[in-house]
């Protein structure tokens, strides 16, 4: 109770400090909450950016496509590497080394290849989401007790049954964690891609507002985008909770 | 042994397929140049790209030192005081999770183009993962150790220096390993978004100029540099943990 009160007090203090600091700053740079709220209202009533909904829909579509591709490729690649010992031992470290490269270095090449439209954002979101999923599958397979698999096989379980009854429950926790991280990174990838260069989508609106120094609109757009980010993570955490209930 | 051979075969086969794809026209060499076109480009961009890389790595180093120092201190401070930890941890986790790119335009408005926003944004990227890891490690320090040290009359200073610090070393090292990639990422993003120098700017301008061979060569250069840095940190990590026993 006390902790919650203190948290709220801290938030209020932060907003107050922001208000005071924002008012003393150059109005083009400092945007106190009292300026953001009207800007947010205008934005949500589609006054300042009439194409808000279309942009939001485009960004969501890019995220969904990128994530679907990342899940398919990540699971496929992870299981392939995990099931074949030699291939896994050879490619696993290479995959991990590539993961150590800050992914944004690939973005200019993707933009050159896929153009300024949605495809390059999908490709970048896919790239970011793919690695945690593939690496989680690899780590999950390593957690499966091989003796259990041997016993199940000895009792005549087929590949599908071994997978469903033995492997999946053992690795589910790690796998779902990877899927959740992958979604978060897909979202970030698409947004980073849009801000670094795009013609449509939330990132393009943000860049537009920033370029014209419409700072109030910019903060309002950031808040709307943040809602999207938080919403996707809440959805993922609900699914994660469901999956963990299933294992028990 | 077989593993090394397989890795080598993979790389050679990959490069071979890529070369074949570019030569036979499956992919447009304007966008995906063959490795044989990228190699000479690496020589061509040599000096300029290396200067850019040095610039980027310099900013990254500064951001990294700041992230480690601030992240570890904040992690210890917040992690070891119960009330502070309870109140702040949801905010810290939230700040760690949100895409920082959203505040980048504002940072650039505030700090301008150049080195300062890059170092600031790189620090912002590296700080949170380190702080979150250290905070968790401090929280999970064995309570018995703390109680025993206290009852044997350890001062607060001794408690931090002799009990807390040795216990969190693995997490600090893990944070340092994670942080470097985040710092480099942050610096490169700023250079791409609003850079006048550095590797991010170099990459961005090659892409804008449709100089695909040069772009691929520069990408390979940054990737190699970051893999080398991470491997070196891993090696250091192994050496240190062996020394710690």
What six digits make up the tokens of B35?
Answer: 């490795």
Closest Cα to residue A86, out of B4, B3, B8?
Answer: B3
- What does the alpha-carbon distance between residue B207 and residue B59 come to, in Å, rounded to a whole number? 22
pLDDT > 70: percent of chain B: 98
What six digits make up the tokens of A68?
Answer: 């679907």
Q: Which of A93, A105, A209 to mutate to test the interface with B (most CBs of B within 10 A)?
A: A105
A89, with CB counted inside 10 A (0-12, 13-18, 19+), is middle
Neighbouring C-beta atoms of residue B142, cutoff 10 Å: 10
What six digits make up the tokens of B5?
Answer: 């051979």
Mean pLDDT of B43-57: 87
- What does the alpha-carbon distance between residue B178 and residue A172 come to, in Å, rounded to a whole number? 25
How would you classify residue B99: left for phi > 0, otherwise alpha for psi between -120 and 50, otherwise beta? beta
Interface residue B233 vs chain A (CB under 8 A): no
A30 CA: distance to closest CA in chain B (Å): 9
Kindly tell me if the per-residue pLDDT of B241 is higher than 80: no
Answer yes or no: do A229 and B98 touch at CB < 8 A. Answer: yes
**Spatial CB neighbours of B83, under 8 Å, sequence gap ≥ 6:** A3, A6
pLDDT in tens, B117-174: 999 999 999 999 999 999 989 888 888 888 888 888 888 888 888 888 888 888 888 8
**Spatial CB neighbours of B161, under 8 Å, sequence gap ≥ 6:** none
Of A29, A89, A108, the CB nearest to B206: A108
Whether this prediction's pTM lies above 0.90 is answered by no
**Closest-approach residue (CA) in chain A for B222:** A105
Alpha helical stretches, state H, B195-211: 198-208
Of B99, B204, B206, the CB nearest to A229: B99
ipTM for this model: 0.85
Closest Cα to residue B171, out of B193, B195, B140, B213?
Answer: B140
Give the pLDDT confidence score for residue A124 in this predicted structure: 93
Of B2, B189, B231, the CB nearest to A104: B189
Higher per-residue pLDDT: B38 or A67 = A67
pLDDT tens per residue across all 248 residues of chain A: 788 888 899 899 998 988 888 888 887 788 888 888 888 888 888 888 888 899 999 999 999 999 999 999 999 988 888 878 777 788 878 888 888 888 888 898 888 888 888 899 999 999 999 999 998 998 888 888 888 888 888 888 888 888 888 888 888 888 898 999 999 999 999 999 999 888 888 989 998 888 888 888 899 999 999 999 999 989 988 888 888 777 66
Interface residue A218 vs chain B (CB under 8 A): yes
* Residue recorded with tokens 């990174």: A185
Kindly tell me if the per-residue pLDDT of B245 is higher than 60: no
């Amino acid at each position: 109770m006390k902790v919650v009160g203190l948290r709220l007090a801290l938030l209020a203090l932060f907003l107050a400090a922001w208000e005071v600091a924002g008012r003393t700053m150059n109005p083009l740079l400092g945007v106190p909450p009292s300026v953001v709220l009207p800007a947010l209202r205008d934005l949500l009533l589609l006054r300042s950016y009439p194409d808000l909904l279309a942009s939001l829909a485009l960004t969501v579509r890019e995220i969904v496509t990128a994530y679907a591709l990342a899940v398919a490729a990540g699971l496929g690649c992870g299981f392939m590497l995990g099931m074949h010992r030699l291939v896994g031992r050879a490619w696993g470290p290479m995959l991990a080394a590539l993961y150590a490269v800050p992914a944004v270095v690939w973005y200019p090449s993707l933009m050159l290849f896929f153009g300024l439209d949605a495809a390059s954002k999908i490709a970048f979101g896919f790239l970011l989401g793919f690695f945690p999923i593939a690496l989680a599958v690899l780590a999950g397979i390593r957690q499966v007790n091989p003796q259990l698999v041997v016993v199940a096989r000895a009792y005549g379980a087929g590949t599908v049954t071994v997978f469903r009854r033995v492997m999946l429950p053992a690795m589910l926790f790690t796998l779902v964690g990877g899927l959740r991280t992958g979604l978060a990174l897909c979202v970030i990838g698409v947004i980073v891609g849009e801000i670094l260069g795009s013609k449509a989508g939330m990132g393009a609106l943000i860049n537009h507002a920033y370029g014209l120094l419409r700072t109030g609109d910019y903060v309002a757009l950031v808040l709307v985008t943040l809602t999207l980010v938080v919403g996707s993570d809440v959805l993922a955490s609900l699914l994660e909770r469901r999956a963990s209930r299933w294992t028990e | 042994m077989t593993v090394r051979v397989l890795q080598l075969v993979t790389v050679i086969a990959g490069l071979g397929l890529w070369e074949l794809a570019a030569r036979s026209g499956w992919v447009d060499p304007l966008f995906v140049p063959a490795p044989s076109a990228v190699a000479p480009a690496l020589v061509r961009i040599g000096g300029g790209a290396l200067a850019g890389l040095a610039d980027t790595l310099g900013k990254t180093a500064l951001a990294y030192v700041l992230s480690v120092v601030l992240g570890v201190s904040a992690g210890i401070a917040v992690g070891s005081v119960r009330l502070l930890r309870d109140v702040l941890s949801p905010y810290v986790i939230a700040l760690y999770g949100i895409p920082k790119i959203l505040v980048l335009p504002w940072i650039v408005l505030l700090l301008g183009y150049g080195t300062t926003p890059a170092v600031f944004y790189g620090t912002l990227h590296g700080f949170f993962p380190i702080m979150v890891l250290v905070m968790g490690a401090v929280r999970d320090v064995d309570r018995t150790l703390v109680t025993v040290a206290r009852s044997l009359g350890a001062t607060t200073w001794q408690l931090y220096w002799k009990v807390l610090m040795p216990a969190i070393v693995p997490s600090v090292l893990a944070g340092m390993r994670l942080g470097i990639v985040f710092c480099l990422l942050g610096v490169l993003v700023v250079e791409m978004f609003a850079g006048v120098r550095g590797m991010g700017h170099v990459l961005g301008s090659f892409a804008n100029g449709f100089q695909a061979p040069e772009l691929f060569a520069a990408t390979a250069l940054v990737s190699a540099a970051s893999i080398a840095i991470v491997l070196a940190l891993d090696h250091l990590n192994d050496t240190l943990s062996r020394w710690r026993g």
